[in-house]
Amino acid sequence: MIENPAVPSAVLLRVLLSAEDEPLRRAFRDAPGLPRDVVEVMLVHPEQAVRAAVAANPYIDAEQRGRLVHDRRRVVLANLFGYRTHPDGEPRPLPDAAYEAFFAARQWANAAREDQPWDELRLLEAMNRCASMPHRLRQALARHPQPGLRRFAARFVGGLSAEDRAALLTDPDPDVRAEAREVAGDDAEVYAGIDIDWDPENWGHSWVFGSRRVEREAMERVVRGEDCPDHYRSALAGNPHLPPDLVAVLARDEDPYVRDRVSLRPELTEEERAAIDYRVPELTDLDEVAWYPYLARSQSPVDYARSAHPVRRRQAACAPGLPDEVRDGLLADPDPGVRVLTCRHQIGVPAEDLLRAYREFRGRHRWRLTYRPGFPAHGLARFAADPDPAMRELVVLDPQAPAVVVAGLLADPERCVRTTLARHPAVPVERLLTMLDDPELAPYAARNPSLPIEAMHRILDATGVPGRG
């Protein structure tokens, strides 16, 4: 019921004031459209579970959530800077002042206690992974007046400019210099075979072969497949330090996954890429490719978009802020994965393209496409008899769907259609009240905006939530 967009503040506050229903409180982290006055109460609630729910809720106004940077509980801060994004795929950044206040306060400096499990490093690493934090602010840590934050920036020198890296290596603070030099030394270190776990039964040093410098003899051993884990070859296929002649060998590897990895190496020409017998995987999960934007930033996304390799074009589709002409070209791409990911990540996509992508994509998190700006709502009742159940579900988004159409879908043979349409405001109140006694439909009827407030209170009464009257 908390997810009901029409639930009034009085009902929500009744739940918040319940001292014994923590699971119900945690549901606030996924509730859309919470009233501002309710959020204000949650921001200062004595229970950290409530404040953590505000911190993690992607629907809440960024200015309100940003005030939690002053929270004294690290679990709240970790939720605030976590990697949850809005269902439309876009991270919601906090105001710049919120990030700056977090760094200035140094709230993480105290040693971790038993009731405060987030130590300084883990919290800062959560901040570093924060997808919504503008990269320019992350880079600014290298020039922060506090040595502790410059030292943290030194752990990620690979993402800094040459000038900032050089400044950290000669920083006036000895701890900052030591950290920067240690990381720089790690990047320059060449791993010898004697330092590597070669046991075929172990996961071993995949991370070394995937990104670090390795002596040639060890690389050749992996390429030949001599007494080493098979997955070392697929890791090595993406290693930026792999010599061209060994790249050519792995491009003909018997393992198709190895060839797939080689085909995406950025230094290859389009002709070299086309000569590899690679596969194009089916797009099965909108969230599986959430890391594509970071790959596409290693070169110009426009270059990726012009590639003949469909997966590289998918990577371009996920890079934010593509020029309109590049976006429009990807929307007309022959690869369905490119078209769907363009709709998922780009702004200004026409409604007909968004609807087409929803119809074409049959993988996980398909419904998230309906959250994209511009997804059509009016006229969706025409899909009430579509053979695809997910298309019939779209009728719930049509505010003008006739009541008779909605009533028919409540008896649909597919459970997903019945439960989805139970949330349509065209369901008569009398029918809604009877659905509250239906074990299948009751949880979804409780989210219907036409549900009377008195019925909402009765639901809380039945679940034992105190506060009535």
Average pLDDT over residues 93-97: 87
Do the Cβ atoms of 159 and 138 come closer than 8 Å? Answer: yes
Examine residue 204 and state whether it is found in any structural domain, yes or no: yes
In total, how many domains does the chain have? 3
For residue 115, the surrounding DSSP H or E stretch is none
The predicted-structure confidence for 302-330, as pLDDT tens digits, reads as follows 889 999 999 999 989 988 889 999 999 99
Q: Do both 25 and 124 map to the same domain?
A: yes
Examine residue 435 and state whether it is found in any structural domain, yes or no: no
Residue/partner pairs of 274-278 with CB below 8 Å, 24 or more apart = 274/308, 275/251, 276/251, 278/309
Q: Do both 269 and 334 map to the same domain?
A: no
**Domain end call among 240, 258, 274:** 274
Examine residue 397 and state whether it is found in any structural domain, yes or no: no
Q: Do both 204 and 337 map to the same domain?
A: no
| C-alpha span between 76 and 70 (Å, rounded) | 10
Model pLDDT, residue 272? 96
Examine residue 409 and state whether it is found in any structural domain, yes or no: no
Query: How does the average pLDDT of the chain come out, rounded?
Result: 87
**Domain end call among 152, 167, 200:** 152
DSSP 3-state helix, strand, coil percentages of the chain (rounded to 5)? Answer: 55, 0, 45
Examine residue 51 and state whether it is found in any structural domain, yes or no: yes
Q: How confident is the model at residue 107 (pLDDT cuts 50, 70, 90)?
A: very low
Q: Do both 225 and 204 map to the same domain?
A: yes
Do the Cβ atoms of 317 and 345 come closer than 8 Å? Answer: yes
Residue with tokens 């949650």: 42
* Beta bridge partner(s), residue 113: 116
In 3-state terms, what secondary structure has residue 23?
helix
Q: Which two tokens stand for residue 460?
A: 């809380």
**pTM score of the predicted model:** 0.85
Nearest to 58 by CA among 94, 84, 96, 89: 84
Query: How many angstroms separate the most distant Cα atoms in the chain?
Result: 78
Q: Do both 13 and 96 map to the same domain?
A: yes
Q: Do both 236 and 306 map to the same domain?
A: no
Do the Cβ atoms of 31 and 11 come closer than 8 Å? Answer: no
Q: Do both 330 and 212 map to the same domain?
A: no
Examine residue 338 and state whether it is found in any structural domain, yes or no: yes
User: Could you tell me the residue range of the domain that residue 76 belongs to?
Assistant: 9-152
Model pLDDT, residue 131? 67
Q: Which two tokens stand for residue 157?
A: 């020198």
Q: How many CA atoms lie within 13 A of 433 on its CB side?
A: 9
The predicted-structure confidence for 110-120, as pLDDT tens digits, reads as follows 433 444 444 56
Examine residue 71 and state whether it is found in any structural domain, yes or no: yes
What are the CA-CA distances from residue 255 to residues 199, 214, 263 (Å)? 20, 22, 13
Q: Do both 262 and 216 map to the same domain?
A: yes
| C-alpha span between 364 and 222 (Å, rounded) | 36
Q: Do both 145 and 40 map to the same domain?
A: yes
Average pLDDT over residues 337-364: 96
Q: How confident is the model at residue 445 (pLDDT cuts 50, 70, 90)?
A: very high
Q: Do both 235 and 308 map to the same domain?
A: no
The predicted-structure confidence for 253-305, as pLDDT tens digits, reads as follows 999 999 999 999 989 999 999 999 999 999 998 877 655 555 545 578 888 99
For residue 8, the surrounding DSSP H or E stretch is none
Q: Do both 304 and 216 map to the same domain?
A: no
**Domain end call among 125, 152, 179:** 152
Q: Which two tokens stand for residue 231?
A: 């997955």
Examine residue 186 and state whether it is found in any structural domain, yes or no: no
Model pLDDT, residue 346? 93
Q: Do both 198 and 324 map to the same domain?
A: no
Model pLDDT, residue 289? 66
